[in-house]
Structure 1
Amino acid sequence: MSSVQHLREFISQRLTAAAEEIFSEFEKTIVQYEEEIGRQRRLLDISWKPQIKLHKVVAESISRTRMEQNQEQNQELNQEQNQEQNQEQNQELNQEQNQEQNQELNQEQNQEQNPSTSNRAGLSSGSTGPQKHGAQEGSRWHCCKDCGKVIKRSNLRYHQRLHTGEKPYSCGQCGAAFTTVASLKTHQRIHTGEKPYSCGQCGAAFTTVASLKTHQRIHTGEKPYSCGQCGASFTQLGSLKTHQRIHTGEKPFSCGKCGAAFTQLGHLKTHQRIHTGEKPFSCGQCGAAFTQSSDLQKNQRIHTGVKPFSCGQCGAAFTRLDSLKKHQRRRHTAEK
């Protein structure tokens, strides 16, 4: 075979191979275009015909997250309410004590002003007012050995429950126990649904006065609980305690499997899903499941095309905050 024929055969083989590579690239490009067109059509369908199922899943996911937050807030609110109830009970006891003491002092003053009606033996020169009052206290008053308060004998048993922890009044429906009848009645409203205390501004109703007062701070803007370290203020005592853990480093909620600790109960529950594999937040569009509602929201932006994070310098928009930060580092700063 001559050199010319070899050259022709070589050129023919190279042209054939080049043609095959070109056609292969064309096929890949066509497939990519078809996939992109299909994706754009799905986005248009979502934008113009949003599925009810997707919104339902989102609502259920958000509702579940709010339930977890409400559980923690209810625990903190119950602590705050118990403190307020104890303060009210102590105030009532002190008022009763003051009334009894004033009555006895008035009786003594009347006896001194009307010696003819008093016991002259008890008014001898060796007797004094405090001694007489102490004798009367011996029959009607008692000093609590635990806290030193002077308590009316008829209220002594009730007062001692604060120290002993005795709870003789129990709920017939769930078995929860309480120290007073009033506390039991307040609890039973959870089962009956009764909410006798309503807000005069928005009409929201509550089971306790303490809950109503906490709610009304939304309208008044009152934040009576302030942090002594940074000055941040809050409407609830529980919120202040949670905030103060930032300064103290306290993490009372720990994972029983790996020992990781957290400042809030909600954060612990989210972490535990790593061990259990639970993914309660699922996308109604693609079926992807997530452990956190925030991850579900990020996923949904892929389907809806929403890009809430925009660059202030060039206007480029992104679906994720980390993508925006990466863009700003690469495009507008020297950092890589």
Structure 2
Amino acid sequence: MREGALLCDICKSYLNNDKALRNHMKQHVVRYECKECGIRKRDRNTALNHYQKHHEEIPMTFICEVCGFTTDSYKNYRSHTYSHKDRVPCKICGGTFANQNVLTKHILFTCFECGVKYSEKARLKDHVDWEHLKLRNYVCKLCSKEFETKRCMTRHIMYVHDKIKRPKNKICDLCGTGFSNLRLLESHIRTHTGERPFKCEICDKTFGFKASLYTHNRLIHKKIKRKPYPKKNN
């Protein structure tokens, strides 16, 4: 790498100067693909002219140049591209992180029973106690509900028994729905984009939500049956 070279944030290529970087960035501009003939255009007006001239009323497809994700909605495309910006993906859980150091810490602690990974040793211990040793260390004294972590129990008491309302100040740009935390918002956005980032390592089936992958593994591969709901007394 030459001294003073400039980095492309999208593909991590190095360019010699500002002009070279600007020219290089043109290849990353959103492209529009015609579903009828497959031709690609780099700007909206050129794409529309093509559709009107050759394939009137044929819808356009927006393509992510990083991962190949496609959608008919420009808003969904823009929302999706933010997930790639300056973040490093975890191949295990599908989450993304600010840099490689944060990712390394994220996958530092591994459960030798099932392979799940945690960023904190204490979180791994809670998992082993709950899932494999069947210990119930955190029990709500008000309703006897059991929890895997102390944090989950504390939040339960705050929001269920103390009636503290969580502010829903994380807003979806696509539909305006509010959520109390970023994780819920990110999961919700996938209902718009159709992304399925969580992949089963056994059968390659993909899921939009981590909980769905967890349930799939338990029911399909581990053959753990669902617990029947208790019958209500008449």
Shared fold per TM-score greater than 0.5: no
Q: As a proportion of its length, which structure holds more helix? A: 1
Q: Which has the higher strand share?
A: 2
Structure scoring higher RCO (CA < 8 A, sep ≥ 6) equals 1
